[in-house]
Amino acid sequence: MPSFDVVNKVDMQEITNTVNNASKEILQRYDFRGSNTEVEWDSKTNRILVRTEDEMKMEAVRDILINHATRRKVDVACLDFKDVEAAGGKTLRREVLILEGIEQDIGKRIVKDVKDSKLKMQVSIQGD
């Protein structure tokens, strides 16, 4: 019996390339000269950590990340930008989580839509 899987996976190599390209652009841009701006990719926890000095630079880094993700054909909906928080001293920190998988309520809605279509199919949700 044939099967069909619906998944939502992000290519982590493209995320790595996005962060590397964004870091290079930050080093070259004039408005970031002399600032202590860092973009780090943690592959174990699937998150990007951004540290910078002020809110304007934080929004500029956000735009750079979105721009480079779009260039690499990564859906920006998988980037979950958390709130900006103080990191001590004059620095700010923001976490960007990489979302993978289909949420439980969306999975249930997919199951309901398939069952409502009256096709001869068995639908199941696997995993958490």
Q: pLDDT tens digit string along 59-111?
A: 999 999 999 999 999 888 889 999 999 888 889 999 999 988 888 888 889 88
- The average pLDDT across 24-40 equals 90
Whether 123 has a pLDDT exceeding 90, the answer reads: no
Do the Cβ atoms of 48 and 62 come closer than 8 Å? no
pLDDT, residue 69, reads 93
Q: What is the pLDDT of residue 1?
A: 58
Domain range summary for the chain, segments of one domain joined by +: 12-98
Query: CATH assignment of 12-98, given 3.40.50.2300, 3.30.70.990, 3.40.50.300, 3.40.50.620?
Result: 3.30.70.990
Q: pLDDT-based confidence at 32, cuts 50/70/90? A: confident
38-42 and 79-81 strand pairing: unpaired
Place of tokens 């721009």: 67
Identify whether the C-beta of residue 51 lies closer than 8 Å to the C-beta of residue 91: yes
User: Which among 20, 32, 27 has a CA at the least distance from the CA of 58?
Assistant: 32
Which residues face 38 on adjacent strands? Answer: 51
- Any bridge partners for residue 51, and if so which? 38, 93
